[in-house]
């Protein structure tokens, strides 16, 4: 009798415990593993002249998470997003369906919506990209952008914000307009700063698209951002709009950490990691007001670029302050170069751009360099001239050699980022993803469940258990 009573008591307490959760934040740094996190912290430590940690790495629970997909040790974002959102492995490129593409998986966001919670999805890349799509769409291919966008509307989620839609009228441009379809289904579309600032309607479903987007219908890299609202601005707005008696589930993706990793651009990667952490801070501020009802999860879907702290040329030293010499992202510098390419500018004509945007000095200008480590050696000058010659071709040859050097990016730009990164003590191994585990952090309600070493599918399983 006593054993039965104790068992019932434990079960009742367990049920009561799980019924307390009200607010769930799920942050995903796309392409973010320990090298990206640690690099951002070392950068802050150097410029602040004191040990500085990101908000996420100060959380009370910390784990390591494996990321492989069903068909590869190195996952893509679709399979990783599916694992994080549903608890199931699938093939790379597939969103929330099994390997046979016959079964659709329920996502944690869909479960939260069924349970009466409001749901928000935020991303710095397009809202129909793989990671945000993994919380509301079910497609055999992540490339089905138009179909994914239609599922966004049909999800009936309460808040979407960040980037835009890649193909609002389909790839043929003859399909029903996404924005019209969204408005017909009760969504308000906001795409100006003024509309964003003034919007406060908690009862209105909304899609907020940054006013000034870059390539791929994504938000600008944070290093290039000027007056546009930031990822943390959108996160703060989402919290204010979604907050209600039944609670909410909010997924926030820092999608361009990944894009900068693919391009091996360390300072742009770091800036977007810092912008992502600023969004985490908004959630933490909310947690401090609701500590017993809030859970914050922060993780990555995979690592991108094989980013490494250390380079053969700098041995045991790092110089993270040197990356501050880069003033714009690789994407922005590509645009600068394109103007000079149209004019068929000579190498001498573009040398000043290298100094102005990357702080690198050619040997003849070495007297102007305060940091002698920023003076280019003969080998580096040769690499830059070779890259200039390749960039100025009508078409860069598609060979194994050129891919290993430039990864399909603008040869001169990526050569300059590589040189600056290496002088700072940072190097890269790939232009793709890697298979290393990622870090997972948790704060708040039942956060202890996220300590330890586990698979990315376990994050979703734990969240399903917590939400109920």
pLDDT in tens, 304-336: 999 999 999 999 999 999 999 999 999 999 999
Q: Flag whether 418 is marked binding.
A: no
Q: Which band of pLDDT confidence, cut at 50, 70 and 90, is reported for residue 27? A: very high
Average pLDDT over residues 62-81: 98
At residue 212, the pLDDT reads: 85
Q: What token pair was written down for 387?
A: 């890259």
Q: State yes or no: 30 annotated in a binding site.
A: yes
Question: Is 303 annotated as a binding-site member?
Answer: no
Asked if the model's pLDDT at residue 14 lies above 80, the reply is no
**Residue 273 known to bind ligand:** no
Catalytic one of 77, 92, 123, 391: 77
Per-residue three-class SS string for 291-322: CCCEEEEEEECCEECCCEECECCCECCCCHHH
Reply yes or no on whether 155 is catalytic: no
Could you tell me whether strands 159-162 and 205-209 are parallel, antiparallel, or unpaired per DSSP bridges? parallel
The average pLDDT across 355-367 equals 96
pLDDT at residue 134, rounded to an integer: 98
Q: Tell me the sheet residues that pair with 104.
A: 97
Q: Quote the distance between the C-alpha of residue 356 and its chain's center.
A: 28
* Cα(368)–Cα(349) distance, integer angstroms: 19
Q: Is 131 annotated as a binding residue?
A: yes
Of the listed ranges 6-15, 217-226, 376-385, 424-433, the one predicted with least confidence? 6-15
Q: Are 413 and 334 in contact (CB under 8 A)?
A: yes
Residue of 435, 461, 456 lying closest to 446 (CA atoms): 461
Reported as half-sphere exposure (CB side, CA atoms, 13 A), residue 359 has a value of 19
Q: What is the rounded average pLDDT of the residues 119-129?
A: 98
Asked whether residue 258 is marked as a ligand-binding residue, the answer is yes
- d(C-alpha 457, C-alpha 90), whole Å: 11
Predicted local confidence at residue 6, as pLDDT: 46
Q: By percentage, how much of the chain surpasses pLDDT 90?
A: 92
pLDDT (average), residues 141-170: 97
pLDDT attached to residue 394? 85
When pLDDT is cut at 50, 70 and 90, the band that residue 48 belongs to is: very high
- What the chain holds in terms of domains, given with CATH numbers, is 22-307+432-467 (3.40.720.10), 309-427 (no CATH)
Is 433 marked as binding a ligand?
yes
Confirm if 69 and 76 have CB atoms less than 8 A apart: yes
Q: Is it the case that residue 184 has pLDDT exceeding 50?
A: yes
d(CA 439, CA 453): 9
Confidence check: pLDDT of 138 > 60: yes
Arithmetic mean of pLDDT over the chain: 94
Query: ∠30-33-35 over CA atoms, to 5°?
Result: 125
For the chain, state the CA radius of gyration.
23
Q: How far apart are the first and last CA of the chain?
A: 29
């Amino acid at each position: 009798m006593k054993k039965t009573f104790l068992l019932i008591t434990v079960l009742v307490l367990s049920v009561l415990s799980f019924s307390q959760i009200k607010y769930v934040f799920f942050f995903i740094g796309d392409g973010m593993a320990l090298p990206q996190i640690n690099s951002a912290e070392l950068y802050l430590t150097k410029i602040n002249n004191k040990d500085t940690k990101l908000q996420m790495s100060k959380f009370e629970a910390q784990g390591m998470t494996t990321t492989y997909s069903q068909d590869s040790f190195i996952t893509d974002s679709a399979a990783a997003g599916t694992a994080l959102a549903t608890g199931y492995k699938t093939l790379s490129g597939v969103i929330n369906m099994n390997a046979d593409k016959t079964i659709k998986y329920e996502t944690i966001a869909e479960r939260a919506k069924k349970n009466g919670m409001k749901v928000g999805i935020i991303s710095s890349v397009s809202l129909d990209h793989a990671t945000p799509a993994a919380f509301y769409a079910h497609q055999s291919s992540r490339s089905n952008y138009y179909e994914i966008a239609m599922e966004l509307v049909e999800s009936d989620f309460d808040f979407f914000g960040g980037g835009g839609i890649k193909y609002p009228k389909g790839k043929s441009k003859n399909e029903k307009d996404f924005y019209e379809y969204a408005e017909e289904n009760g969504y308000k579309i906001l795409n100006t700063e003024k509309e964003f600032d003034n919007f406060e309607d908690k009862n209105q479903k909304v899609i907020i698209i940054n006013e000034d987007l870059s390539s791929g219908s994504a938000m600008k890299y944070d290093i290039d951002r000027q007056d546009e609202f930031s990822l943390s601005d959108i996160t703060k707005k989402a919290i204010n709009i979604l907050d209600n008696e039944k609670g909410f589930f909010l997924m926030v993706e820092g999608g361009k950490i990944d894009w900068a990793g693919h391009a091996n651009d360390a300072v742009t990667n770091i800036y977007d990691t810092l912008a992502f952490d600023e969004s985490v801070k908004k959630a933490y501020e909310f947690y401090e007001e609701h500590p017993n009802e809030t859970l914050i999860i922060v993780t990555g879907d995979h690592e991108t670029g094989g980013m490494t702290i250390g380079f053969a040329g700098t041995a045991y030293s790092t110089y993270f302050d040197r990356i501050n010499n880069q003033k714009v992202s690789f994407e922005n510098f590509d645009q600068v170069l394109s103007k000079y390419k149209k004019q068929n500018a000579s190498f001498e004509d573009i040398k000043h751009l290298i100094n102005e945007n990357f702080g690198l000095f050619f040997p003849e200008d070495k007297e102007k360099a305060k940091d002698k480590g920023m003076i280019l050696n003969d080998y580096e000058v040769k690499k830059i001239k070779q890259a200039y010659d390749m960039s100025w071709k009508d078409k860069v040859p598609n060979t194994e050699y050129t891919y290993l050097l430039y990864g399909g990016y603008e040869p001169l730009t990526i050569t300059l980022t590589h040189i600056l990164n290496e002088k700072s003590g940072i190097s890269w191994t790939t232009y793709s993803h890697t298979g290393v585990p990622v870090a997972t952090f948790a704060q708040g309600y039942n956060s202890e469940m996220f300590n330890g070493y586990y698979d990315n599918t376990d994050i979703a399983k734990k969240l399903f258990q917590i939400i109920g």
